Chains A and B, each alone.
Chain A
Amino acid sequence: MNKQNLSIETDKFTPSQSMSLIISSIIGVGILLLPRTTSKYMFQQGWIAMVIGLFATLCFTWAITKLITHMRGRIFADYVIHILAPTRYPWIGKLIGIPLLFAFAGLWLLLTALVSRAFGEVVITAVLVNTPLEVIVTSMLLVSLYLCMKKEIVVARVNEFLIPVMIVPLLILALLSFQNANVYHLMPLFPLETKGIPKSLVTTIFAFQGYDIILPFASRFSQNVKYMRANLLGIWVVGILYILVVIAGLLVFGYEELQRQTWPTLELVKTVNVPVFILERMEAVFIGVWVAAIFTTAANYYYAASKLICDIFHIRKLFYVALAFAPLLYFVAMHPRNLFDLLAYLDRISWIWFFMGSVIPVFFLGLSFLRTGGLPNETVRKSLKSLHPDRDVSHRMLGSGGAGRTDLCYRIHCGYQSKKPQTP
């Protein structure tokens, strides 16, 4: 592949920003529960489910990235309606599409609320025992709201900036906890607990949810840059971190002890004895890191939902939409009565999240390919065919090849293009 020519487009996402968006949206509440949930059905082999889950996630991420690159900088709300509209009855697209988009926005708002609540629960259990839950949840929502005042590119930069802050300490903590490891806790490796695989796989795939965050931001993806490798790399980073955490949890505690812990990863951090006596209790570091992890998940989804609503109604000021949702989010966040309720909600929402965030995009991808034969639009292909009757008009040709062809593509596209992207 040739080195890609990045022109100066300050409002476009770079591949590393796309990757950080994915990584930081995935890493959130799940990592605290991970060793317990994965070992629940597969016992000492829980990490194997994690590996399978990683590969499944790679497939879904591939599909989503394929979808957004296929849609070339078009707004999520627009292309959903467009994809769903049969050529003869375009109104059907709106009829199905708009409720679906509302469902997406609702899901993302719900996620913001529940993630903030889970954050509050952990902070109260572990560090700020006397701080009211309301204060913690409110401050998390306010910080997320603050991000909603900014442009999309700022969201991407914040994510990119926080990535090392999150990953490096997590990695160090995971590796440090290996000092208490007992290899026998991982054995026997065979025979495989085949009965537990489907159930464990469900929980691991849930833990990997979060890559759907790039859907609403895809209109800011540059058309001249390939994001596939970066996005898949992001999943690999998360996957390796997750597998490390699960293996560390299993090695230190064994699956039986893990089942008795509410926040196993936090307990794992408590067992870490740092050789150099800087901080006696590593929980402080971990919670500090975890603030960043939760903030990026909550704020990204808050932004995504607000943006989606803006796009549906063509509203300019995202902040006002976000502000309108803030009280609603607060009440949703305070709704679960207790920890048990919260975990049950999170579990239920994971199903919806998986369905909306992974299955539906794959369906979109299939539908758009079915309808266009791998091309942006049937009409494009027809017109190109008429222009170059002797050449096979392939997807590649329409791609990032040259300005002239993309131009042509847009000229034909403009029938349904809501906003004409600037050609470089």
Chain B
Amino acid sequence: MELEERTSVIAFTVDINQKNPKLLDVSIQIPIPIKIVGAGGGGAAEGGREAVKVMTGSGSTISEAKQNIQKNLNQRLFFGHTRVVAISSEVAKTDISDFVDNMRRFPQIRRLLVPVIVPGRASQILEKDPKLEQIPVMYIKEMMESGAKIQLIPDISLGEFFINMSDSSIHPIMNMVTPTDNGFKWSGVAVFNGPKMVGQLNDEMVWAYMNLHENHPGGDIKIPCFDEKGKYSVFHARKAKTKVKVEKKNHQIHAYYQVDVEGDIRESECNLDFNNEEIINKIQKSAAEVYEARAKKMIQYVQKDIRADAIGLGFIVRARYPEIWRAVNWEQEFPNVQIHVTYKVNMRRFGMVIGKSR
């Protein structure tokens, strides 16, 4: 197949058809090469919303929907350059196994592309133009990549999602992106149980998850001031290191997470004197409490509300405590595991001032 005879799909989305809920809508975004800045050198190049075309087709399977798009096209669809796939949360809540199967069987699809869940209709994201990328949807890919680099967003590629999907000891997660007025927003992660989306972690929960599972510091935390209510100090973690210990005591499995966090104070609204060791100890302790509360909220949610082992405790148990893993049915056991989380916060630096700047 010649290069010029292809229609490259840069992103595609999967939705439920609004008229007939049995059908799936697949929308694709196609870049128009001549309208991309820098291409051809002509004055016509512009980029953004005008540089792409969005097309939709529906069918009872994803392949059928793609084929229906093909019917409207002059050239052959090519998915080798696809960078983003988005699935609407409605589809995800019913079943995404068709989608996964289609992705896995299709040799053009690469494992490094970015899969996202979109609340509501996924095809919305193809219409947005954040104006910072020549091809609008690349914004999502860049957002995920830079977010993963600064360790704010979990790094989940399609391949990673497949691996977690196959793995019997962990429940897969996928990033969520919400379209805003003229752009996109990362809005936590979706948790899957099998092929179904069962819940959603908001950003704070995701950061707690990243502390516990990935040794990533996650986002900043706000430590309430000792003296004034409603005022906070902001602690920015640079490093996090987690140790997990699992024990079985009287038929009850206990998991002990010990997280060591290291970082700086980024902002202080409180009147604190960081020259005083006592104060430092005190604020370290209250930072640890804030962290623990954040983790506890997340654990409560995954254990009791959605009963899905998104934090990958089973993965650790299977690898390091095979005797416990073999003795129980983890799927049933996970909600009953006693998870204890302790944080140890090390404040290394307090910025360029000591005490309250006036």
CB <8 Å contact, A256 and B167:
yes
Which of A188, A252, A254, A273 is in CB contact (< 8 Å) with B167?
Answer: A254
Which of A253, A260, A271, A281 is in CB contact (< 8 Å) with B104?
Answer: A260
**A381 to chain B: closest CB distance in Å?**
59
Interface residues in A, total, Cβ within 8 A: 23
**A350 to chain B: closest CB distance in Å?**
26
CB <8 Å contact, B110 and A281:
yes
CB <8 Å contact, B322 and A188:
yes
CB <8 Å contact, A270 and B110:
yes
CB <8 Å contact, A256 and B168:
yes
Query: Which chain A residue shows the least CB distance to B163?
Result: A257
- List the B side residues contacting A281 at CB < 8 Å: 80, 110
**A269 to chain B: closest CB distance in Å?**
10
- List the A side residues contacting B168 at CB < 8 Å: 256
The complex places the Cα of A252 from the Cα of B163 at a distance, in Å, of: 9
- List the A side residues contacting B318 at CB < 8 Å: 187-188
Interface residue B112 (Cβ < 8 Å from any Cβ of A): yes
Given the known A-B contacts A184-B316, A187-B319, A187-B320, are A126 and B166 also in contact in the complex, defined by CB atoms under 8 Å? Answer: no
Chain B proximity mask over A368-411: 1 for CB below 8 Å, otherwise 0: 00000000000000000000000000000000000000000000
Interface residue A129 (Cβ < 8 Å from any Cβ of B): yes
Most buried by A among B112, B163, B320: B163
- List the B side residues contacting A126 at CB < 8 Å: 107
- List the B side residues contacting A311 at CB < 8 Å: none
Interface residue B256 (Cβ < 8 Å from any Cβ of A): no
Query: Which chain B residue shows the least CB distance to A190?
Result: B322
CB <8 Å contact, A188 and B320:
yes
Interface residue B274 (Cβ < 8 Å from any Cβ of A): no
**B224 to chain A: closest CB distance in Å?**
37
**B244 to chain A: closest CB distance in Å?**
11
Within 8 A of A (CB), among B294-313: none
The complex places the Cα of A185 from the Cα of B320 at a distance, in Å, of: 11
Interface residue B159 (Cβ < 8 Å from any Cβ of A): yes
The complex places the Cα of A188 from the Cα of B316 at a distance, in Å, of: 10
Interface residue A338 (Cβ < 8 Å from any Cβ of B): no
The complex places the Cα of A252 from the Cα of B80 at a distance, in Å, of: 22
**A275 to chain B: closest CB distance in Å?**
13
Interface residue B1 (Cβ < 8 Å from any Cβ of A): yes
| A to B contact number (C-beta, < 8 Å) | 47
CB <8 Å contact, A254 and B111:
no
CB <8 Å contact, B166 and A256:
yes
Interface residue B350 (Cβ < 8 Å from any Cβ of A): no
Query: Which chain B residue shows the least CB distance to A257?
Result: B166
Given the known A-B contacts A187-B319, A256-B168, are A271 and B111 also in contact in the complex, defined by CB atoms under 8 Å? Answer: yes
Chain A proximity mask over B104-134: 1 for CB below 8 Å, otherwise 0: 1001001110000000000000000000000
Which of B1, B162, B166, B319 is in CB contact (< 8 Å) with A184?
Answer: B319
CB <8 Å contact, A184 and B111:
no
CB <8 Å contact, B319 and A188:
yes
Given the known A-B contacts A184-B316, A191-B322, are A254 and B112 also in contact in the complex, defined by CB atoms under 8 Å? Answer: no
- List the B side residues contacting A130 at CB < 8 Å: 1
Within 8 A of B (CB), among A214-271: 252-254, 256-257, 259-260, 267, 270-271
**A74 to chain B: closest CB distance in Å?**
49
The complex places the Cα of A273 from the Cα of B107 at a distance, in Å, of: 17
**B320 to chain A: closest CB distance in Å?**
6
Interface residue B12 (Cβ < 8 Å from any Cβ of A): no
Given the known A-B contacts A129-B107, A267-B111, are A254 and B320 also in contact in the complex, defined by CB atoms under 8 Å? Answer: no
The complex places the Cα of A126 from the Cα of B106 at a distance, in Å, of: 10
Query: Which chain B residue shows the least CB distance to A125?
Result: B107
- List the A side residues contacting B163 at CB < 8 Å: 252-254, 257
- List the B side residues contacting A185 at CB < 8 Å: 319
Interface residue B315 (Cβ < 8 Å from any Cβ of A): yes
The complex places the Cα of A252 from the Cα of B320 at a distance, in Å, of: 18
Given the known A-B contacts A254-B163, A256-B168, are A129 and B1 also in contact in the complex, defined by CB atoms under 8 Å? Answer: yes
CB <8 Å contact, A254 and B1:
no
Chain B proximity mask over A186-212: 1 for CB below 8 Å, otherwise 0: 011011000000000000000000000
The complex places the Cα of A366 from the Cα of B107 at a distance, in Å, of: 50
**A397 to chain B: closest CB distance in Å?**
58
Query: Which chain B residue shows the least CB distance to A261?
Result: B104
The complex places the Cα of A30 from the Cα of B106 at a distance, in Å, of: 22
The complex places the Cα of A188 from the Cα of B323 at a distance, in Å, of: 10
- List the A side residues contacting B322 at CB < 8 Å: 188, 190-191
The complex places the Cα of A252 from the Cα of B316 at a distance, in Å, of: 16
**A127 to chain B: closest CB distance in Å?**
9
**A113 to chain B: closest CB distance in Å?**
25
Which of B80, B112, B167 is in CB contact (< 8 Å) with A257?
Answer: B167
**A141 to chain B: closest CB distance in Å?**
25
The complex places the Cα of A267 from the Cα of B103 at a distance, in Å, of: 13
Within 8 A of B (CB), among A139-189: 180, 184-185, 187-188
**B321 to chain A: closest CB distance in Å?**
8
Query: Which chain A residue shows the least CB distance to B104?
Result: A260
The complex places the Cα of A253 from the Cα of B163 at a distance, in Å, of: 6
Query: Which chain A residue shows the least CB distance to B315?
Result: A184
CB <8 Å contact, B104 and A273:
no
The complex places the Cα of A384 from the Cα of B187 at a distance, in Å, of: 89
**A22 to chain B: closest CB distance in Å?**
32
- List the A side residues contacting B112 at CB < 8 Å: 270-271, 273
- List the B side residues contacting A252 at CB < 8 Å: 163
Query: Which chain B residue shows the least CB distance to A130?
Result: B1
The complex places the Cα of A254 from the Cα of B80 at a distance, in Å, of: 25
- List the B side residues contacting A257 at CB < 8 Å: 162-163, 166-167
- List the A side residues contacting B320 at CB < 8 Å: 184, 187-188
The complex places the Cα of A306 from the Cα of B167 at a distance, in Å, of: 48
The complex places the Cα of A257 from the Cα of B1 at a distance, in Å, of: 31
- List the A side residues contacting B316 at CB < 8 Å: 184
- List the B side residues contacting A270 at CB < 8 Å: 110-112, 159
Within 8 A of A (CB), among B146-169: 159, 162-163, 166-168
The complex places the Cα of A125 from the Cα of B106 at a distance, in Å, of: 9
CB <8 Å contact, B159 and A254:
no
Knowing that A129-B107, A271-B159 are A-B contacts, what are 5 other residue pairs whose CB atoms are under 8 Å apart, sorted by A's residue number? A130-B1, A191-B322, A252-B163, A257-B162, A260-B104
A contact set with B: CB distance below 8 Å: 125-126, 129-130, 180, 184-185, 187-188, 190-191, 252-254, 256-257, 259-260, 267, 270-271, 273, 281
5 tightest Cβ-Cβ pairs between the two chains A and B: A187-B319, A257-B166, A188-B322, A184-B319, A256-B166
Ordered by A's residue number, 6 sampled pairs between the chains whose C-beta atoms are within 8 Å are A184-B316, A187-B319, A190-B322, A254-B167, A256-B168, A257-B167
